[in-house]
Amino acid sequence: MSKQTLGFQTEVKQLLHLMIHSLYSNKEIFLRELISNASDACDKLKFEALDNDGLYENDGELRIEVSFDKDARTLTIRDNGIGMNRDEVIANIGTIARSGTRAFFEQLSGDAKKDANLIGQFGVGFYSAFIVADRVTLTTRRAGLPSSQGVRWESEGAGEYTLEDLDVPQRGTEITLHLREDAAEFADDWRLKSIVRKYSDHITLPIRMKKGPSYGENGETVISDELETVNKASALWARSKSEISEQEYREFYKHVAHDFEDPLAWSHARVEGRQEYTELLFIPKRAPFDLYDRERRHGVKLYVRRVFILEDADKLLPQYLRFVRGVIDSNDLPLNVSREILQHSKDIEAIKAGCVKKVLATLEDLAENRQDDYATFWQEFGKVLKEGVGEDFANRERIAKLCRFSSTHSDSETQNVSLADYIGRMKEGQDKIYYVTAETFAGARNSPHLEIFRKKGVEVLLLSDRVDEWFTSSLTEFEGKPLVSVAKGGLDLGQLEDEAEKKEQEQKASDFKELTERIKTSLGERVKEVRVTHRLTDSPACLVADENAMSGHLERLLKSAGQ
């Protein structure tokens, strides 16, 4: 097929424009992104080659090479990883095949710094090449295909790109950047090597460059064609903690998580026992766009004795920890584990249980020692963590302790009240944890059911996240104190009421018996019971659900879901 010109997806065009402008102050990260992709491509080859050795084409030494030509002002990154066929080039490089594209554009603020972080989250690593290049050429051939099935992709980053068939003898991908005039500084040996060491030292494969110029015996400059490995090229997680700097952890995170921002916290441990493994797991600072998407792209990476096996979004950790990123490296699993085996493996279950404990411990540490960071975490991932109370029976109490809520204590929408805080403020004689659920925070805060509680100064949790119905139906008590909805059944305030109050209520109920019966008759089937209440102080009437019935909120949720 001869040369073909295709248009970028509209979103790609907008994104390219934005990218160039908002990341301009930190241009050098383009190299980190391209090396990160090259490394991913080698991981993918290793994975596919597990059951098809032929893919290595007698070249099993995976590597990344960086070279430049000062005069031509070009910079080239090549890898001998999986490569791409024509369709893959179109799908991966010409489109952003992700959900949440619109959400992304809606969130842009015009503030370059904030937007730069958003762009990172969205995972547009490849396009960062256009920060420094006004033309990018990518030639690639997928492992296992004949050399005649190579492809050349080229674009100036405006609205179009060209595709051409090409004979590519070596498998893998080569990307050449034609540097902009104001980015000529990157065609430089020292500069490139220091960027590689700064951002990509942790990459497990060797990143090779020509040895720099040196001085010969007579003081003459010697240019050698020999290559040297610029990075450490060892698995970061396999090194001992004391040898790893914070900066190295952060850069490693950005690579495994495809994030542009630093992580919030991490846990790194070598675990011994029935299963031997190393975990290095990170809590991101911000929720990715596909957090609620069933087709999530990323998850935790599984290695077996340093060999990348697969990246999995749901089997290595439970759903409610789906925001966690990082690696698990097992010493005991067989090299040929597949997704199918993962699902039924007792060994994986043991590793998973161990990793859950590590993540919960990391969150507990944050909650205790870095409260501002925990608040950030809760804002981004709280709704997801709450799912854990229903999902993870074994850790229910621990997860519940980590949960934060709004309450009538401050009436603020910020969720910062823990169940322990609540218990600490309980009134004398109070033996229950009270909550109200509603569709919105305002709905919860203004609920008439709260009147009596406000009057008596009893705190009530204000729950208005979608997950709260699921949460309260899973967690019926905490530290021996039942969780009780203020909107259900006959409200028994127990010792919060004195004898005189109780007497008065009974008296009123009999005084108004005639009235309540008349109301019930006229409402007929629509109500089960009409009674005099002491719940209200200002409102004349309110609806109450039966003790064992669904709450009004859940009923509405189910209705809207067509149940």
Kindly state the smallest distance separating residue 278's Cβ from ligand ADP, in Å: 24
Instruction: For residue 82, state whether it binds ligand ADP (rule: CB under 6 A).
Output: yes
Kindly state the smallest distance separating residue 12's Cβ from ligand ADP, in Å: 10
Please name the residue that has the structure tokens 């699993």. 333
| Region class of 436: left (phi > 0), else alpha (psi between -120 and 50), else beta | beta
Tokens of 479: 């530290």
For Mg ion, which is the closer residue by CB, 118 or 359? 118
Task: Pick what 284 binds: Mg ion, ligand ADP, none; C-beta below 5 to 8 Å, kind-dependent.
Answer: none
Instruction: For residue 120, state whether it binds Mg ion (rule: CB under 5 A).
Output: no
Kindly state the smallest distance separating residue 79's Cβ from Mg ion, in Å: 12
CA 120 vs CA 29, 111, 307: distances in Å: 11, 14, 27
- Hey, which residues between 22 and 61 contact Mg ion (CB under 5 A)? 36-37
Kindly state the smallest distance separating residue 285's Cβ from ligand ADP, in Å: 17
DSSP letter at 213?
P
For ligand ADP, which is the closer residue by CB, 42 or 355? 42
User: Using CA atoms, how far apart are residues 14 and 101, in angstroms rounded to an integer?
Assistant: 11
Kindly state the smallest distance separating residue 397's Cβ from ligand ADP, in Å: 37
Please name the residue that has the structure tokens 């051409």. 164
Site string for Mg ion, 463-502 (x = CB under 5 A): ----------------------------------------
Instruction: For residue 125, state whether it binds ligand ADP (rule: CB under 6 A).
Output: yes
Q: What are phi and psi of 483, to 5 degrees?
A: -90, 125
For ligand ADP, which is the closer residue by CB, 16 or 82? 82
Instruction: For residue 256, state whether it binds ligand ADP (rule: CB under 6 A).
Output: no
Task: Pick what 436 binds: ligand ADP, Mg ion, none; C-beta below 5 to 8 Å, kind-dependent.
Answer: none
Sign of the alpha-carbon torsion through 443, 449, 455, 456:
negative
| Region class of 342: left (phi > 0), else alpha (psi between -120 and 50), else beta | alpha
DSSP letter at 245?
-
Task: Pick what 150 binds: ligand ADP, Mg ion, none; C-beta below 5 to 8 Å, kind-dependent.
Answer: none
User: Using CA atoms, how far apart are residues 421 and 360, in angstroms rounded to an integer?
Assistant: 19
Instruction: For residue 41, state whether it binds ligand ADP (rule: CB under 6 A).
Output: yes
Q: Whose CB is nearest to ligand ADP?
A: 125
Instruction: For residue 126, state whether it binds ligand ADP (rule: CB under 6 A).
Output: yes
Task: Pick what 84 binds: ligand ADP, Mg ion, none; C-beta below 5 to 8 Å, kind-dependent.
Answer: ligand ADP
Give yes or no for a contact between 445 and 462, defined as CB atoms under 8 angstroms apart: yes
Task: Pick what 100 binds: Mg ion, ligand ADP, none; C-beta below 5 to 8 Å, kind-dependent.
Answer: none
Kindly state the smallest distance separating residue 40's Cβ from ligand ADP, in Å: 6
User: Using CA atoms, how far apart are residues 110 and 107, in angstroms rounded to an integer?
Assistant: 9
Please name the residue that has the structure tokens 């040996």. 189
Instruction: For residue 512, state whether it binds ligand ADP (rule: CB under 6 A).
Output: no
Instruction: For residue 290, state whether it binds ligand ADP (rule: CB under 6 A).
Output: no
Instruction: For residue 258, state whether it binds ligand ADP (rule: CB under 6 A).
Output: yes
What distance separates the 2 farthest-apart alpha carbons in the chain?
A: 115
Task: Pick what 329 binds: Mg ion, ligand ADP, none; C-beta below 5 to 8 Å, kind-dependent.
Answer: none
Give yes or no for a contact between 201 and 164, defined as CB atoms under 8 angstroms apart: no
- Strand pairing category for 227-229 and 265-271: unpaired
For Mg ion, which is the closer residue by CB, 36 or 472? 36
Angle at 58 between CA 56 and CA 63, to 5 degrees: 60
Instruction: For residue 265, state whether it binds ligand ADP (rule: CB under 6 A).
Output: no
Rg (CA), the chain: 30
H or E stretch including 199? Answer: helix 189-200
- Strand pairing category for 433-437 and 481-485: parallel
Instruction: Report the SS3 class of residue 179.
Output: strand
Q: Where would I find the H helices in 232-314?
A: 246-257
- Hey, which residues between 150 and 209 contact ligand ADP (CB under 6 A)? 173
Tokens of 336: 């040929």
User: Using CA atoms, how far apart are residues 554 and 563, in angstroms rounded to an integer?
Assistant: 11
Task: Pick what 93 binds: Mg ion, ligand ADP, none; C-beta below 5 to 8 Å, kind-dependent.
Answer: ligand ADP
How crowded is residue 119: how many other Cβ atoms within 10 Å of its Cβ?
A: 21
For ligand ADP, which is the closer residue by CB, 32 or 445? 32
For ligand ADP, which is the closer residue by CB, 38 or 359? 38
Kindly state the smallest distance separating residue 65's Cβ from ligand ADP, in Å: 12
Instruction: For residue 200, state whether it binds Mg ion (rule: CB under 5 A).
Output: no
Q: Whose CB is nearest to Mg ion?
A: 125
Task: Pick what 79 binds: Mg ion, ligand ADP, none; C-beta below 5 to 8 Å, kind-dependent.
Answer: ligand ADP
Please name the residue that has the structure tokens 């490296």. 329
For Mg ion, which is the closer residue by CB, 37 or 447? 37
DSSP letter at 488?
B
Provide the β-strand partners of residue 271.
277
Instruction: For residue 33, state whether it binds ligand ADP (rule: CB under 6 A).
Output: yes
User: Using CA atoms, how far apart are residues 351 and 332, in angstroms rounded to an integer?
Assistant: 11
Instruction: For residue 79, state whether it binds ligand ADP (rule: CB under 6 A).
Output: yes
Total binding residues for ligand ADP by CB under 6 A? Answer: 18
Instruction: For residue 125, state whether it binds Mg ion (rule: CB under 5 A).
Output: yes
Q: Which stretch binds ligand ADP (CB under 6 A): 33-41, 224-232, 259-267, 506-514?
A: 33-41
User: Using CA atoms, how far apart are residues 243 and 327, in angstroms rounded to an integer?
Assistant: 18
Total binding residues for Mg ion by CB under 5 A? Answer: 3
User: Using CA atoms, how far apart are residues 53 and 360, in angstroms rounded to an integer?
Assistant: 40
For ligand ADP, which is the closer residue by CB, 173 or 533? 173
Among 19, 55, 62, 124, binds ligand ADP (CB under 6 A): 124
Instruction: Point out which residues bind Mg ion (CB under 5 A).
Output: 36-37, 125
Instruction: Point out which residues bind ligand ADP (CB under 6 A).
Output: 33, 37-38, 40-41, 79, 81-84, 92-93, 123-126, 173, 258
